[in-house]
Amino acid sequence: MNTPYRALPRTRSIVIAALVTAALAGAAVHAATSNETTAPSSAGQHWHGHHHGPAGRFMHVLKQLNLTAEQQTQIKSIFETAKPQFKSLGTNMRSNAEAMAGISPTDSAYPALLAAAKANAAARIQQMSDVKAQVFAVLTKMQQEQIPQIIAADKSKWQQRHQNGASGTTAPATAS
């Protein structure tokens, strides 16, 4: 039986998760669209940035697809076009989060702030989805099919690194 008392923590958790997801997506898109994160050319340049959030991971995957120069240009254009909206949404989300942090959930202004937070999070998620769809339209069928393999390989590498770190890596060698 779902009483209002039980539903409130679940709603808060959902809202917090949506806000965190949206904030990470915005930060990743900002990082992915800055000048330092342009796709490497076939000349062997590499991007050494961090891959935070969904857009950062998506950019990391794109870097492994051997994109043509034309694809790189098109994808960069897609992210550049989306950048102002992501910045605006990020600004709105930050100011809304600051306002929500400063008032009690019992305050009469809280429901409006909560509704705005939900709307901002939904807009951020929709924007990221739209950008991803535009990028997929630029990729070849073979490149699109490589994406799940790249993600699986990255996940495997991540799990190996974290298992090795958690199990206590080898002890330093001592001189005999």
* Per-residue pLDDT tens digits for 11-27: 666 667 666 565 555 55
**Any idea what DSSP says for residue 37?**
G
Residue-wise pLDDT tens digits, 31-43:
555 444 444 333 3
pLDDT at residue 170 is higher than 70: no
pLDDT at residue 167 is higher than 60: no
Structure tokens given for 153? 């390989």
HSE (side-chain half, CA atoms, 13 Å) at 16: 7
Nearest to 138 by CA among 68, 49, 41, 36: 68
Which residue reads 């930050």 in tokens? Answer: 94
Of 39-43, 51-55, 123-127, 162-166, highest mean pLDDT: 123-127
- In angstroms, the CA 34 to CA 115 distance is 31
Nearest to 88 by CA among 166, 26, 155, 25: 26
Q: Quick one: residue 17, left, alpha or beta (phi over 0 = left, psi -120 to 50 = alpha)?
A: alpha
Share of the chain above pLDDT 70, in %: 62
Query: 42 versus 120: which is more confidently predicted?
Result: 120
pTM of the model: 0.57
Structure tokens given for 51? 């891959």
What amino acid is encoded at 60 in this protein? H
Question: Residue 136 has what pLDDT?
Answer: 93
Question: Residue 60 has what pLDDT?
Answer: 81
Nearest to 20 by CA among 31, 32, 28: 28
